[in-house]
Amino acid sequence: MKIPCRLIVFFLLSFLLLTSCSTKQKTDAPKFTIGMSQCNLGEPWRVQMNLDIKNEAEKHPEIRVTYKDAQNDSLKQRSQIEEYVNAGVDLIIVSPKEAAPLTPPVAAAFEKGIPVIVLDRRVLGDKYTCFIGADNKKIGRAAGQWIVGQLGGSGQVVELKGLMTSTPGQDRHTGFREGTEGSDLDIMFEADMKWLEPEARKEMESALARFKNIDLVYAHNDPGAHGAYLAAKATGREKEIMFVGIDALPHEGQVYVKQGVLHASFEYPTGGREAIQTALKILNGENVPKEITLRSRVFTKDNIDQGGKWLDEEGEEK
Ligand code: FRU
């Protein structure tokens, strides 16, 4: 039987069309799965981190990111990492609640050959692939120096600390003490407000009840500084106190600075975009540094309209 030439051409074209479709599908389908474990989603900063991850990940169809929220529970976060390992994800991104409890599951994943990017808060030791975050000691030091300058070298200061079992709390505290060394600042009240606005408000109520004179509150994050402001406002003392925080989200700390609620906010970038960019390099077999340090700016009323001032600009701590 003779097959008409036109029929052969038709089959050939259909075949080419089908195979090209299936190859296209293959390239568009996610090639890698990334498991992200977020320590909590109760604070705007962490919602922003997940959004930064999502926005960057959407540019790369070859990856699929799944998210878990540990709801501020270290035990839950430990299990989440184990679940990701058991599910056989290609890479894990973790923003740990606390250093010590998260160290073993991160180390176990890493030792099994699953790359782990630790974001913002650290774990102990070096059993992870890459740490991404800004330099909290430097931020604390810059805040200390800025505060000494504003208060003319002396004054009564309250320090509201972030969770001291997490590394940013420890570093923002040590850095601050370094930055204020040699001055006559009296840090007469300090408390761990665990990064939480309601806790900060409660602690500030105690400080206000105990001390007639408070010149400034240094809080390790903007929700903490805002909680302290609300406590002071409730007693009509908010105008006599300066408030300084850390994070400087465009829709949180920067707005407080514009409104005059905070006198300064030091930026703590979420690193979400950089985490995805680094994950892609790792998944494509490239080497990445063990440590990626993000830059930070300070926002005050004087510089906010110019986009803040970088901490490593001339005149600031290097
Ligand atoms: C959010 C947060 C931020 C802070 C960061 C430190 O959970 O408290 O406000 O800068 O964590 O890890």
Residues 161 and 303 in one domain: yes
The reply to whether 109 falls in a domain is yes
Amino acid letter, residue 312: D
pTM assigned to the model:
0.89
Cβ 266 under 6 angstroms from ligand 1: no
50-96 pLDDT, tens digit each: 999 999 999 999 999 999 999 999 999 999 999 999 999 999 999 99
Q: Are residues 81 and 144 in the same domain?
A: no
| 124 and 211 together in one domain | no
Q: Per the structure, how many domains does the chain have?
A: 2
Binding site membership of 120 for ligand 1 (Cβ less than 6 Å): yes
pLDDT tens by residue, 181-219? 999 999 999 999 999 999 999 999 999 999 999 999 999
> Is 198 within the bounds of a domain?
yes
Identify which of 38, 46, 256 to mutate to test ligand 1's pocket (most ligand atoms within 8 A of the CB). 46
Q: Which range marks the domain in which residue 102 is found?
A: 31-134+270-295
CATH number, domain of 117, equals 3.40.50.2300
Distance from residue 14's CA to the centre of ligand 1 (Å): 56
Strand pairing partners for 168? none
Q: Is residue 110 part of a domain?
A: yes
Q: Is residue 14 part of a domain?
A: no
Domain co-membership, 281 together with 304: no
Cβ of 121 below 6 Å from ligand 1: yes
Tell me the C-alpha distance between 98 and 121, whole Å. 7
Mutate which of 37, 43, 196 to test ligand 1's pocket (most atoms within 8 Å of Cβ)?
43
Query: 248 with 111, same domain?
Result: no
Question: Based on the domain organization, do 120 and 224 belong to the same domain?
Answer: no
Q: 173 and 163 in contact (C-beta within 8 Å)?
A: no
305 lies in a domain? Answer: yes
DSSP state of 2: P
Ligand 1 midpoint to CA 269 (Å): 10
